[in-house]
Amino acid sequence: MTKLHVSTTINGDPFEFLCAPDETLLDVLRNRLGLTGAKEGCGTGDCGACSVTVNGRLVCSCLVLGAEAEGAEVTTIEGMADGDELHPLQRHFIDGAALQCGVCTPGILVAAKALLEKNPDPSDEELRYWLAGNLCRCTGYDKIIRAVQAAAAEMRGA
The least distance separating another protein from the CB of residue 151, rounded to whole angstroms, comes to 18
The least distance separating another protein from the CB of residue 157, rounded to whole angstroms, comes to 25
In the list 60, 116, 144, 151, the residue contacting another protein (rule: CB under 8 A) is 60
What are the Cα distances from residue 92, in Å, to 30, 45, 60, 95, 98? 26, 26, 24, 5, 8
CA 97, CA 45: separation in Å to the nearest integer? 26
Stretch that binds another protein, among 8-16, 28-36, 94-102, 128-136 (CB under 8 A): 128-136
The least distance separating another protein from the CB of residue 91, rounded to whole angstroms, comes to 23
Q: Is 46 in the site for another protein (CB under 8 A)?
A: yes
Closer by beta carbon to another protein, 70 or else 121 = 70
What are the Cα distances from residue 154, in Å, to 83, 85, 149, 157? 20, 15, 9, 5
In the list 28, 35, 38, 130, the residue contacting another protein (rule: CB under 8 A) is 130
In the list 28, 38, 64, 144, the residue contacting another protein (rule: CB under 8 A) is 64
Q: Is 45 in the site for another protein (CB under 8 A)?
A: yes
Q: Is 109 in the site for another protein (CB under 8 A)?
A: no
Binding site for another protein (CB under 8 A): 1-2, 4, 21-22, 24, 43-46, 48, 51, 54, 57-60, 62-65, 67-68, 70, 111, 114-115, 129-134
